[in-house]
């Protein structure tokens, strides 16, 4: 079970048949406790900067955010990483962000952000 400082959630996206897993925890927890969850292959995107990681296999995504900073800091880093998840999900479906299709990106981002905030109780 997740400790009080550790927040974990899984967002199911039925329309796209994928999941977004979000971990807000220390680096030690993220890499030791959950390393078996991470699947890597040549298509996996891995980004690490400033205590945030976004990983995707083109279907499911894992977002890790270090459990440092205040509530606003965590929410702002979460929104940043969820935008990566949004962009990669649509890219995997063959759709790239352009001026005439940004509305589907914003609706998707709004949905996953609302789900994350509710489940994580930030």
Query: Which pLDDT score, from 0 to 100, does residue 109 have?
Result: 95
Indicate the domain borders of the chain. 7-120
CB 67, CB 26: distance < 8 Å: yes
* DSSP output for the chain: ---SS-EEEEEEEGGGTEEEEEEEE-HHIIIIISGGG----TT-EEEEETTEEEEE-SS-EEEEEES-S-HHHHHHHHHHHHHHHHHHHHHHTT----TTSHHHHHHHHHHHHHHHHHHHT-
pLDDT bracket for residue 3 (50, 70, 90): very low
Q: What is the mean pLDDT of the chain?
A: 79
Q: For the residues 10-31, what does the mean pLDDT come to?
A: 82
Q: Is the pLDDT of residue 17 over 90?
A: no
CB 50, CB 81: distance < 8 Å: no
- Rounded to two decimals, the pTM is 0.79
């Amino acid at each position: 079970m997740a400790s009080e400082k550790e927040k974990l959630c899984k967002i199911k996206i039925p329309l796209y048949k994928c999941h977004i897993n979000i971990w807000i925890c220390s680096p030690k927890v993220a890499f030791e406790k959950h390393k078996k969850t991470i699947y890597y292959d040549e298509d996996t995107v891995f980004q690490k900067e400033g205590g945030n990681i976004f990983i995707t296999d083109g279907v499911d995504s894992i977002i890790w955010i270090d459990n440092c900073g205040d509530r606003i800091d965590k929410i702002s880093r979460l929104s940043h990483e969820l935008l990566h998840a949004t962009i990669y999900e649509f890219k995997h479906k063959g759709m790239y962000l352009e001026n005439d299709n940004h509305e589907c990106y914003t609706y998707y981002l709004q949905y996953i952000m609302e789900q994350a905030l509710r489940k994580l109780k930030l």
